[in-house]
Structure formats: C-alpha cells, structure tokens
Structure 1
Amino acid sequence: MSQQDGPEREPPYKALVFDLDGTLINSAPDIAAAVNKVLEAHGWPVQSVAFVEEFIGFGPRRLLHDLLAALDLPSDDRTVDKAVRDYLANYQQEPAQRTLFYPHVREDLQALHTAGLRLGICTNKPQELSLKVLEILGVAPFFEVVVGADTAPVCKPHPSHLLAVVEKMDLNGDSWAYVGDTKVDQATAEAAGAPFYAVSWGCGAELSVEPHRRLDRLIDLARNPDRDERT
C-alpha cells in the first residue's frame, strides 16, 4: 500500500489493533537470549536467533515445547513447565535489551495516535512482559488496551483473544482492523470477522493477502480510502 496524494481524508478506521512481536518490534534477539539461557542451564546447545524465531508466535509454552521437540530434547510436560518458568524469569531480567522497532514503526504509531486513532494490542506474549517492553520502548501511552495471552480467555488464533481487546476498547459497532505478520494473526482476524492487514516485514512478506492489504508503512492505515464497511 502506498501513500495517497491529494486532500486529507478522515481516517478510514476509528481504531487499530496490532500484534506486537514481528509486527511492531523485532524482539527475536531477546527471546532467543532467554531461550538460550534455558538451554545452557541444561547443558544443551544454544541456538541461533533465526532458529528460535521459527517457533515464535504461539506463546511461551508452545515456543519451548516445539523448539525442544525439534531438537530431539526432552519435551514432556514437567520439562516444558520448568523451561517456561526459567525462560520467563530470564526474559523478565532483560525484556528489551536487544529489541528494536522495525523501520518507521515508532514514528507511525505516534502519527496514528496524534491523528486520533484508538490503538490496542493483541499479543501471545505474556501480559506483564508486553507492558514492560512497551514501557521500556516508550510507546505504552499510545495504546488504550493491551491483552496478552495469559489474560485472555483463550489465545490467538482463537478469535476470543482479539475480541477481548475489542470489548475492552468498547469498539463494538465502530470500524476497526487488525494488523499482524503471521498466519496466526491472519487466521485470528478472519475468525473474528475483522479486516486484516499484513506488514511487509517480519514474516508478513510470506502471507498471501490482497495488494491493498499489505502495508509498507503503518501510517498508510490513516490514508487508505478503500476499507471494508463494518456494521
């Protein structure tokens, strides 16, 4: 989606809900560092950021379970339970030391907020970690509502997670869209009956979406004249 020229238009959506990891921020290096501390503690080989990144998107337990299984390491419930606890403790110690915004994301969030759009986050990251990362990165005030996986009735790709954000923001009847970078995000939006936009970074380039639903800049969401009508 490219910038529209001509006179300013009223923003097409009243609100936007974003995924966090891979959509707004590249947190894979910090996630990998926390995972590798778990592996090191067991005497298991550490892994590259690229390898760990393959398992991000479904929350900490799924991350640790699938990664251990892929490495042919113990992945029984007891082992995974301890790995998750240790991983979260590690991550809490360094939640955003290596995390960066994708290009133009911070300035575009500022612009969307300034333009009066209401912003929320629906993420499979735990709630406390999500809030801490947003605070450290200086963008927490932009978002009215953040719903992490551990505070939702069920997490993505179940639509109840996204709809929990909508309910907390009291968006029923208002026009809104969901923005993400993975098939999980896309499936969540579709199940919730929400317009979905894929970013061009993170894993977003791999998603199959209509050209007008692919974002090169988040600010384009304040300029797109062709949106789905929501009732």
Structure 2
Amino acid sequence: MSSCEILPFTASLPDTVVFDLDGTLIDSAPDLTGALNATLATLGLAAIPEDEVRHMVGHGARKLIERGLEAHAVPKSATEVDALVEWFIRYYAGHVADRSVAFPGVAATLNWLRARGVRLGVCTNKPEALAKQVLIALELDGFFPARAILGGDSLPVKKPDGRHLIATVEALEGDLTRTLMVGDSSTDLRAARDAGVPVVLVSFGYTPVPAHELDPDAVIDHFADLTKVMPQVLDRHRARY
C-alpha cells in the first residue's frame, strides 16, 4: 500500500491541484526525443541523446525545435522553424505514447485526491490536442475534465505567465486561494508565483536546474509523497499571505 493511500483525511487538503504534464505526470522524453530527432533528420542533422533532450523540454514544441537547432548551431528563419514545428507535431501525434509512461505513483495519487473531492487540472505548454491525446493513451484522462486540460495553445498566454494557471483553476471552478501547483521546472514555479499559488516540484523531471535549487515550497522524490507535503505547504502559504 502506498503512502498516498494511507494518509488520513485532513482539512488542509487543497481545493484544487493543477499539474504540469511532461516531466511531472508522465515521462514523455523518449517519444519527444524520437520526434525531435526525426525532425532534425529531415535536415540531415545528427540525433541528440535523450539525456540532453530532457533538459530542452518544457516551453512547447517550438522552443524544443529551436533548442535542437541551437545544439547543432544551425540557424533557421522563423518561417523555416514554423514548418519544422508543423512536421514535428504531425510526427509526434503518431508516436505520442510509443514509449511514454506515467511516473510511478501518479495514478494512485490522482485517485486518492479525486476520491476526497479535490479538483484536478493540467496546465502544460504542450499543444492541447497532444496533451489530451497522451493522457488518453496512458489512461489518465479520466482524472481531469477535458475543459481543465489547458495547453500552450489554449490561450494567448502560456507558462510561465500565471494567467495560464489561473485559467486552469477557473475552468475547474476552483478556489485560487486553496490551489496547489505541481510541476518540475522553473517554468512551473514562475507561473505559480505569478498566480500567487504555492508550488511543489518533483525532483525527477526535465529541469536543467535541480528542483531543490529553484526554491519551491516543497520538493518530492516520488509522486506518492505529494499527499504528505500538501498540508504543510498550504499552511505555510497561508501564514505568509
């Protein structure tokens, strides 16, 4: 039995929890690496190792392509990058869950939270359609209302702009003052800070800067530890504000 299943109910649980997707809920780096390298191969460029790609993820498909080009010191115009992004998205849509998996403890933790009435949403810079597609493929879509899965193309803004997170909470009809953000990178932390929401980072995500060095409200090494830190994170946040 996991720790998230035995923690007793507490009134300090959040009203709403919003999650990042890549590097937080799912390990999608293998498929993102495959799609990036397939895109770069159209230009005759060598493949980039997965360990390097993991540090390029988090700002959406366009930024991933731009970073892949930068790794090869190959400049491209905005129009050329647009075409590469379109090619990448078409390829990735056909391989969105070939090797991607949910991180250990994710399904059990989401189920625990949902059973206690916590509203759950996803705020990701991945295109919305692809986010929904991979959640369906990994059988995680049932935890989140479709209206509360907001991608990088769902709004005129995206993370680290806090309005992306706020819109996700609004889609859930949640209470922003009792919301928690869970992510893996500075992009998630900055969005949470901008929205005035406490943030927990996972230590196993795709950030080039270790989660502990980003100074979030808490860092967890296993997803099942999320329910352990929630009460104290919310209490500390309320005490500060």
TM-score (norm 1): 0.90
Contact 1:175 1:229 in 2 (8 A): no
Q: Determine whether 1:104 maps to 2:109.
A: no
Change in Cα spacing, 1:46 to 1:66, as seen in structure 2 (3 Å) is same
- Correspondence for 1:213: 218
Q: CA separation in 1, counterparts of 2:198 and 2:28?
A: 25
**CA shift at 1:70, angstroms?**
2.5
1:93 corresponds in structure 2 to 94
Structure 1: segments with no counterpart, 5+ residues: none
Change in 2 beyond 3 A, CA 1:47/1:188: same
- 1:42 to partner: Cα distance: 1.8
1:7-18 superposed matches below 5 A: 8-18=9-19
Aligned residue identity for 1:37: A
Aligned partners of 2:186 and 2:72: how far apart in 1? 23
Match for 2:51: what amino acid? A
**Are residues 50 and 65 of structure 1, via their aligned partners in 2, closer, same or farther at CA, if it must alter by over 3 Å?**
same
The residue correspondences of 1:163-174 to structure 2 (distance < 5 A) are: 163-172=166-175
Name the amino acid aligned to 2:109.
D
RMSD value, Cα? 2.5
Aligned length: 230
> Is contact 1:109–1:219 with CA below 8 Å preserved after alignment?
no
The residue number in structure 2 matching 1:153 is: 156
Asked if 1:183 is matched to 2:186, the reply is yes
- The answer to whether the Cα contact below 8 Å between 2:23 and 2:184 also exists between their aligned partners in 1 is yes
* Cα shift at 1:181: 0.5
Following the alignment from structure 2 to structure 1, what is the Cα–Cα distance between the partners of residues 7 and 130?
A: 41
Amino acid at match of 2:195: A
Alignment of 1:109-124 (within 5 A): 109-124=110-125
| Distance in 1 between residues matched to 2:56 and 2:99, nearest whole Å | 18
Report the identity percentage: 34
Counterpart-to-counterpart distance in 1, 2:119 and 2:164: 18
Answer whether contact 1:127 1:150 (CA < 8 A) is retained. Answer: yes
Q: Does 1:225 align with 2:228?
A: no
Query: Which residue type is aligned with residue 103 of structure 1?
Result: P
Give the AA of the match of 1:182.
S
**Bigger shift: residues 169-178 or 12-21:** 169-178
Match of 1:198 in 2: 201
- Gaps of at least 5 residues in structure 2 are none
> Residue by residue, what CA displacement relative to the aligned partner does 1:58-79 show, whole Å, maximum 9, x if unpaired?
1111111122022111322122
The alpha-carbon distance between structure 1 residues 172 and 9, as it changes in their structure 2 partners (threshold 3 A), is closer
Cα separation, partners in 2 of 1:173 and 1:184, compared to 1, 3 Å: closer
Q: Does structure 2 conserve the Cα–Cα contact (< 8 Å) formed by 1:153 and 1:160?
A: no
